[in-house]
Every structure is written in C-alpha cells, then in structure tokens.
Chain A
Amino acid sequence: MSAARFQEGEGKAPAVSRGSFLGRLLSGGLTTFAFKRLLISIPLVFVMTFVMFIVVNSQGSSRFDTFENDPAADPQIIEMEKRRMHIYDPLLVRYFYWLRGVMFDIRFSPDRRFVATFEDNDLSRGDDKYKFGGVELRRPADGVGGEYAVPGPAGVPLGVLGETAALRSMLDPKEIEALELTAVGTGPESSPESAPPEGLALSVVTGSGATPMAFQAAAGKPSVLVVDIDELNRVSAIGELREIRLTSAKPGRAIVKAELLKRRVWQETYPGTAKKRTIQLLFRGTPGESAELGALKSPYAMKLVEGQDWKTDWNAVQKKVDDSYSAARKEWETGGKKSTEPEKPEIDRVDFDALEFDAHAIQGGPLPVSLWILHGDREKPQAAKIVDLKLGEEEQTFEVPFATLPKDLDLRQIRGLRFTCDAPGRAEFDDFRLRVAGSPFRIGLPNFGTSWDKKKGVLDLIGEKVKNTISLNIFSLIFVWLFALPIGVYGAVRQHSTSERTLSFVTFLGMSLPSFFLAILIVFLVSLTYDIPQNSAFSWLREILPIAGRTSQDHSAMGKLGQMWDIAKHTILPVTVGVLGGVGGLQRVLRGTMLEERRKLYLTTAMAKGLPPFKVLYKHALRNAIIPFVASSGSLLSGMMAGSAFTEIVFDYPGIGRQMLESLLSYDMPVVMANLLIAGLLLVVGNLLADIGLGLVDPRVSVEG
C-alpha cells in the first residue's frame, strides 16, 4: 500500500527541501501524518477488542465445565465464582466493565469512593482460629464418619485416621484449614437410649500421650466442632501422631461426620483501588450464647489508624512532617550522618466516613450477627458492639457510618473488627470497603482485572512478560536489519554470484521454515551437542547455549554483569529464530528495489559524472531503495510477533505469546483479553515507528500524508 504511494509520486521532484531528520520529524507534515495514523489506529484497536471480547467470552463458562463433573466441587461455590466473574451479566455490560478498567480506570461515583481493605495474609493469621480465608470446598474424608456407638470413656478411633501417613497428609496446613466434626443424635430427643453421648471430646493421641479437646453434643440438633489444623499440628508436634480419637464421658449414639475444610484462598481485585475480599465465617454455638469469632485485622485500617492522624488537625500534622523533613534535609545538605537524600513525605489526607460491606448467610439463615469494633490496647483490645445485623440468604449491603459510633470510642485506637453470632451457621462477608468522602471522579492506572486462574492482578502477571516480548522483538528487528541490509545490497551488486546464491538460499530456508519448526530444529542441534564427550577437543561446544527459559536457576546468585550475560545467553537462540525468519523477506525486498534502481538513468548519470561507485551505490541508489525496505518493516513486525510467540513457546521463554497460550488453554479470559490488547497496541506503536522512519527516509511521505 505504501509502495503504491511512492509509485504515484515517482518522477516528481521532492517538494520539500531536505532538512535534518529531526527538523523533518518536528515539522508539521510528518507529525500530522503520524498523529492521524494513531488517531485512526487506537480506536480501531478498541473496536477490535470489542469484537474479540464478544468472541472470546462467548465460551466463558467453558471454564466451569470441568468443575461440573467433579463431585468434590460445591455447586454453590461454582455458582458464586460464576457470579463473581460476571458470567450472568450481558456481554455488553461485561465489556464496558472491562473497558472502564482498561481506559485508565475512569470512575464516576456519586460523592464517595472506597479504599482498599482487608488483605489476604492477614486473614489466615491472627487470633481468630475459625476464620477461613475464603471459600471452602468441603471434602468428606474417605472412611471418616458414619454411625458410631460411643461406648464410654475408652474412646473410638476415627476410622482410617489411625494411619500416620494419612493423618499427616490430612494435617497438611497448606491444603487444609480445619477439621470439622458434626455430631447428631440419632433418635428422638426424649429417648435417653438414642441421645447423643455427653462430654464428647476429640483426643489427639501421640507417642507421648493423648490430648483431649472438648466437644459438646446436644440432643436433637447438630453440634459442631471445628479444629484448626494448626492447633492439631501444634498438639501433635509433641510426639509422633498416632491417631485421632473421639471419646465421650457418657455413652450414647450419634452420627459423627468429619469433614476437612480445604483451604482455598480466593482473592479478587476489581478495577479500581477497592480490593474486594470474601470472608466466610463459620458460627458455632448454642442459642442464647454468644460465640466469639475473634478479630479481623485490617492492615490498611491499622496503617491509617496508627498513623496518629485520624481526624486530627491536618495543618498541624503537615507542619510537623514538613519540619522533620526540612531538618533531615538540612542534615543531609550539611553532610551529616545520612548518606541518602531524604524524600519528602506525603500525607494521604483521606477521611473515612463509613464502613460498607455485603453479607449474606450461607447456612442457618437468617443469622443474627453483631458487629463489634475492637479498640484500645493492641494486645488486649476492648470490644464495642456497633450494630446488630440480620443476615438473610440474599446478599445485602450494610453500611456503618462512623458518625453513629459511640461518642467515647477513640477512632485512633481501632484494632479490628469482630463478628459474633449466637446461632450456628455460616455467613459470607464480601467487599469490605472503607468509604471516603471525596471527589466523585477518579482516574487510575489501567487495570485489566484479575486473572481467573492465578487470582492475581493481570498486570502483575504479565507486566514482566510484556517487557520480555518487547525486548525479544526489538533485538530480533535490529538484527534482521543488520543482516538484511548488507545481504540485500550485496545480492544486488553481485547478482548471480555463488556467494549471493548461497546467502539467498540460506535466508530463503529461514523464511520458508515455520518458526516453531525452526526453533525445534535449533533445539535438536543443541541437544546433539550433549553427545560430545566431556574430554574431547570440542567439549566447549557442549551445552553451549541454554534452550529454555530466560534466566538460569542460579540467576539471582550472579553478579550484575553475570546476570546480563545470563539473559543474553538465553536470548540468543530465540533471537536467532526471529532473525532467520525475518531476514529472507526483507533482503529480497531490498535486493529487488536495488536492482531496479541500478537500471535507472540517474545512476548512469552519476557514474558518467565520475562519482566513485561506492558513493553512487550507497548515496544514490541505496537511499531510494531503502524506502520500501523501511515500509515493509512495519508489516514485518506483525509476522515477527507471531513468530516470536511460537519461539517463546518452544524455548519456554516467558513472554506474552506463551502466556496467551497458557491462559487460553485454561479459559482465563481477562488475561487473554489483556494479551490481545497489548499485542495490538504493540503493533500499532511498531507501525507508527515504521511510519516515522519512513517519513524520515522519504520526504514525499510527509507531504502526501
């Protein structure tokens, strides 16, 4: 297309004088041209992403097909995940959610915004042992449970749990969160024979004795014991774990079910700063009795709270901070002890005015739940009851304005939250957010959402890979030019010579081999060097270049220079594949145009004038011949990105091409979309650069464009 443009202009004298490259770049024509291109391309990329979004997400629920056949997967949880991934929203709505995140996360919200709250690692620690970091997939342990006649104090071993290896694997704290035992009396309440045994206890038997854990079973209704795996491990760490026994003080009959609560942490980052978390709390207890759940600490709240400045005189604080900064700076300037320049501290002046969360009961609803705020001393905080909630099965949004807090509660001393409930049940709390009064309009960083697979921000996941792909392609492009330019010129000058034929044959091979096959062949060649005996003269050839990854395993142990060399070594082969694939086409273009230029009359004139052939060739002919060469570099880029994707896959190189494949195989749509968009934008930028380059080498473009 670009070539057509030149041919139209051929024969005309260049309309602009040849200024410096920079001058032409800055002069109106070229900039307008580039800007126009950009103006058309960027919206088109987004239109394309819309089409692709519809296409890609049309199979969004395929992700769950595997779960649906899995008996261990709780349909309720799958349903919840589907809701969370907006599977049921219309595609268009989902697209606009996505687009909003991508377009610098622009948000309008009426007069409020939310700040990040509870983070993952804080949930699994802390003094609340019945907290679960998210959704549990309940898996009944095989062979555990069933009807046990509990005869008396002697105790009944819990089935297969007597085996040490099974116990150990069961107690793996990485996998399992807790052991939940449910005891239900088998008969009517009145009948004493079938009442559940009293004084049930769980005993952990180790080499050095048994440790009982209390377990109350009441008649007619299930009683639940949830034992934290950490606690079990602590107990069993004293001696070698032998078995876990269920004992009772008085005989009775009950069906005892043991279930392992699997640790499954789901963390979701939604567009925007509000980090949403789902917290499931399991309530136990008997009616009328308040069972405490412990505190739920928020580092963010803590940070804000601890930074002595909650609802204080901001001017005074600012002054204090400024003073200490200027003192530190003075000390640094006068050559004091501090060797680094102090940074000016920024104070985040956020004022919270409310706490918001969504909640609903999963089991045993409607659940009467109370929200407490823990305040005061950090080690032994006091609890203040804030509000009583009635949790229904339907999800509800609750709002606790801080204005309603008791007057004597010192906000600076808030340590955490606590939920209590005096009835057994399970509740889910979702989307905790601290509401902030402030501007309704907000612009953030582009946000591609959360990977469904890795439960991690998409940008975190692929940021590094984008860089790797860009560097791989830039290096390939540079080397393609470095090789194609001389080979193309040489091909035109020494047409039909043996060396020219050999060169074009080699580049032709590279062009015709599929890039993934070329990569495989190179892997094959390198693998052949493994056969070279250790002590032969060619032993240096053994494993000369690494064929997988971007860094070695001991990369972090290397020095700065060593690391660079390590990365370079890993990049050589992928770049080689790219170069072999790219040189052929480009050098053919250059050779063709060079041959054409050489036949033209102005070259004959130049030669007749007595110019040295070198000058004629490089100053006259090449300058004209290089134009299609630069023009085709833009389209080369598209092919190269495809090629590099295959190369990444074969060489196990961490780039977006490989990521694209991986996320596609697991139907991880946010990552797929991010990869598509980024690849599109990279191509647009590449084409733009090629256009600018074209404008630099060809003055006609800037005029016509």
Chain B
Amino acid sequence: MAVATPNVAFKVEAHEVLTPRQISFMKFRQHSLAVYGAVVLLFLYFMVAFADFIAPYDFETQMRTKPWHQPSTIRWKHADGSLGRPFVYNTVRVRDENFIVYYVEVAPENMAYLKRKLGSELTERPTEHPIRFFASGDPHKLCGLIPMKTRLFGIERPEMVNRPAFFLLGADQMGRDLFSRILYGSRISMTVGLMGVAVTFTLGLLIGGMSGYFRGKTDIVTQRVIEMIMLLPGFYLMLGLRAALPPGISPPKMYFAIVLILSFIGWAGLARTIRGMVLSISQNDYVVASKALGVGNFAIITRHILPQTMSYAIYVVTMAIPGYMLGESGLSFLGLGIQEPYASWGNMLQAARSTNDIKLHPWVLLPGFMIFVTVVAFQFLGDGLRDALDPKTILRAKKEIA
C-alpha cells in the first residue's frame, strides 16, 4: 500500500542543480498520501498545542445530570422558522420502558411528549443556548502559560438545577465532554510517541553505532543485551516492567515511566539495524582516513558514521511512533497507564470494555478512531519519507536530472 512510483520525470530547469535535500522534498511532495498524512498530523499537533483553548470544557468538568449524553443536536433554525446563529436546547433525562436512559431536548416540538413523560417534574421552558465563539468557560492556561477563561467556543451555563451543556461528540459515563477529553487526551497520546522516540533514537543510534564500530567484545555484549530484550514478547515485557512501578504514582511520573518503559523495549530493534549499517559504513575509506588523522572514536561515530544512517533512522523512527502510541493506549486501556481523571485515548476506551455501553453509547469508540487516524497518518508519512530519503532513489533522480 501507498508505495509511490518514483520514476516520474522532474520538471527542472537545465541549469539548476538540486541538492539531495531538495530532491527529497520534491519526491516527498509527489507522494500524495504522505502529504495528506503530514497535513493531518500537523493539524492534530496544532490541536495538541491549543487543546485547552479549543476544548469547550475542562477534562475534569462533570455535567452531573448528563452522564452518557448523546452528541448534542446543533440547531440553526429558531422556533419561528428564521435562520440564525447556531444554538442548542437544554436536554432532560427520560427513561423508556426498558429503563434505558436517553436525553430529550427541551425544544418546542418535544414539549408535549416531555409533559406526558415527566408531568410536573418538567419545569423548564424551551430556551435557546447560542454557541458562542470565544465564550467564557472553565479556567485554563493557554499552552500551559497564560491563565485565561476564554475558550474557542461554548455555551453559557447558567446556574440552575439541570445546567445546560454542549456536547459536540457526546459525554462519557460521568457526564464529561468527550470532545474536550479527546483534546486533552491527545496531549498525552500524541506526545508519548515523540518522547519515546526521542529516547529510542538517541539510545538506538549511540548503542548501535558503538556496537558496530568497535566490534569485538562490545559488539557481542550489546548484541546479547538486544537479543534478550527482543526475546520476550513486547506485551509481557511491558507489563512486567510496569509491575516495577509502585501503586498510586502521580500522573506526570506515570507519563514519563510509560515513556521509559516503551523506549526500553523499543531501542533494541533500532540499535540492531543501525549496527548492521555501521558495520559496513565503518569499512569505508573516509572512516579509515579520519582514524589515520587522529579523530576520536566518538567524533567518528557521531560525525562521520551516524549521519549516513540518518535517513534510514528517520524512516524507522516515524514508523515507530505509532508503536509507542499503541503501547501507551494499550497500557492505559488496561488501567495500567494514565489514570482517571486524566484523559488519554487509551483510558477513555476503558469505557468501551462493556458490551452494553458501546451498544448504547457508541460514541465512546471515538478515541479509538483518533488512534487509528493518527497511526495511519504516521504510516503514510513514514512511507513517503522512506521513498524520499532513500539514497538509491535520490541518486536515480540525480541521474535523471543529469
């Protein structure tokens, strides 16, 4: 899937000479799926950065009267038939004959039904709650720095018995806005991969580089360590390492612990591949020459050898990020990762562990789709990067240009 066809003629002016970086960029742009992936990811990371501004509510805010609320109906048409700015009606909870709870809007056309159903308990009149941009909502800190109360959109929530709320994507079992929680959760789910990969990348490159460069005993020991890590199935290793964490550690610590656990499992694969590449690169004449010139080992590895492996490493790392996301969401899904009330896409899916709940409230599956979209975007991006950074295709393109 998504393998680009690289043999496309480039429209280049004859006098122009392209650097490899330019060629890579051009090739990347031709890989349409990869571009889509990149755009989606940019969009998602933009949301991560401004999560608390975009989210209409805080991740902890519970609308106590509205657990399992379905996505709100956004209306444009006023009662008199005129069009106006979007608004929602407040909803009240009703039980059907099977005692299944559902919510009915306090809208003019529903009033007769509600009166029949609730009788004197129905005290509300149909009121339009307009959805406002830059409405004031739960206090938050923009980008974790600037304290403010303004949120991108929202409705006013007057103090009353059954406070109205606006659920773009529905609510969870505690009446928390799913959309807001997805946004807040993205701050964990979308960054855990980046953090993990940063650790893996450093460890994998350095250890793999050293193992391949020094050979001999260093190599044997490193290889055995890598094999050891790869000998246990990832899931079991992950759970085993998780057992080392004491119960009830704070969420930020847990976040970093997860990153560490996942990178501990992940670095081995990268190191092994890098080592293979370094083994052959270190035979090159220019490495021998730098040795003869008296360049230190560390400098040779980091300045002469590792840059050669970089394009491959970047590809591997892009493809590895989804793995970290899945690891984190898996752990959180099992209740071993990020704990309530903090949101991560994995622990939000815990609500989907009961068949009844997904059947009655299918919107709890949405975090899973968010994971899916992100994973696919990363895979597309990785595919594109591989084609774009592959030295073989770059050379081929150069030849074509020549």
User: Are the CB atoms of B228 and A48 closer together than 8 Å?
Assistant: yes
Interface code A641-652, partner B: CB below 8 Å = 1, 0 otherwise? 110011001100
For A517, give its contact among B229, B233, B239, B371 (CB under 8 Å). B371
Secondary structure at the A interface, as helix, strand, loop or mixed, is helix
Q: Smallest distance from the beta carbon of B70 to chain A beta carbons, Å?
A: 16
CA distance A527 to B361 in the complex (A): 12
- Residues of A within 8 Å of B229, CB to CB, are 48
- Tell me whether A661 and B239 are in contact in the complex, defined as CB-CB below 8 angstroms, given that A62-B247, A642-B234 are known contacts: yes
**Nearest-neighbor residue (CB-CB) of A669 within chain B:** B243
Contacts of B326 in A (CB 8 A): 514
Taking CB atoms, residues of chain A closer than 8 Å to B1 are: 504-505, 507-508, 588
From B235, B239, B241, B368, A521 is in contact (CB under 8 Å) with B368
Residue of B nearest to A514 (CB): B326
A: contact size bracket = 35 or more
Within 8 A of A (CB), among B319-345: 322, 326, 329-330, 333-336
B349 contacts A524, C-beta separation under 8 Å? no
Q: What's the Cα separation between A642 and B331 when bound, in Å?
A: 12
- Cβ of B352 < 8 Å from any Cβ of A? yes
Tell whether, in the assembled complex, residue B239 and residue A523 are in contact, meaning their CB atoms are under 8 Å apart: no
Are B244 and A528 in contact (CB-based, < 8 A)?
no
Q: Is A650 touching B353 in the complex (CB atoms < 8 A)? A: yes
Q: Is A281 in the interface zone, CB < 8 Å from B?
A: no
Complex contact A680–B232 (CB within 8 A) = yes
Q: Does A657 contact B (CB under 8 A)?
A: yes
Contact: A641 with B379, CB < 8 Å? no
- Residue among A4, A645, A667 with the highest chain B CB neighbour number at 10 A: A645
Flag whether B375 is at the interface (Cβ < 8 A): yes
Say yes or no for B227: interface residue by CB 8 A criterion. Answer: yes
B94 CB-CB contact with A under 8 Å: no
Contact B232 A679 (CB under 8 A): yes
CA distance A62 to B245 in the complex (A): 10
- Interchain CB contact under 8 A, A512 and B379: yes
- A58 at interface, CB cutoff 8 A: yes
Count B interface residues, CB 8 Å. Answer: 50
The distance from the CB of B57 to the nearest CB of chain A, in whole angstroms, is 25
Question: Quick one: which of A184-217 are within 8 Å of B by CB?
Answer: none
A676 interface hit (Cβ, 8 Å): yes
Write the nearest CB–CB distance from B319 to chain A, whole angstroms. Answer: 11
Q: Does A144 contact B (CB under 8 A)?
A: no
A512 and B242 in contact, given A52-B232, A638-B233 (Cβ under 8 angstroms): no
Cβ-based interface call for B365 (8 A): yes
Q: How far is the CB of A675 from chain B (nearest CB, A)?
A: 6
Q: Is A45 an interface residue (CB 8 A)?
A: yes
The reply to whether A680 and B231 form a contact with Cβ atoms under 8 Å apart is: yes
Please tell me if the beta carbons of B358 and A527 are within 8 angstroms of each other in the complex.
yes
Given contacts A679-B233, A680-B236, contact A512 B372 (CB under 8 A): yes
With CB as the reference atom, state the residue of chain A lying closest to B325: A514
4 closest pairs, A vs B, by CB?
A642-B235, A517-B368, A641-B233, A527-B359
By a beta-carbon cutoff of 8 Å, the part of chain A in contact with chain B is 1, 4, 40-41, 44-45, 47-48, 51-52, 55-56, 58-59, 62, 65, 504-505, 507-508, 512-514, 516-517, 520-521, 523-524, 527-528, 530, 547, 588, 592, 638-639, 641-642, 645-646, 649-650, 657, 660-661, 664-665, 667, 669, 672, 675-676, 679-680, 682-684
Task: Give 10 CB contacts A-B under 8 Å.
Answer: A1-B273, A47-B224, A514-B372, A517-B349, A520-B358, A520-B365, A592-B3, A646-B330, A660-B235, A683-B232
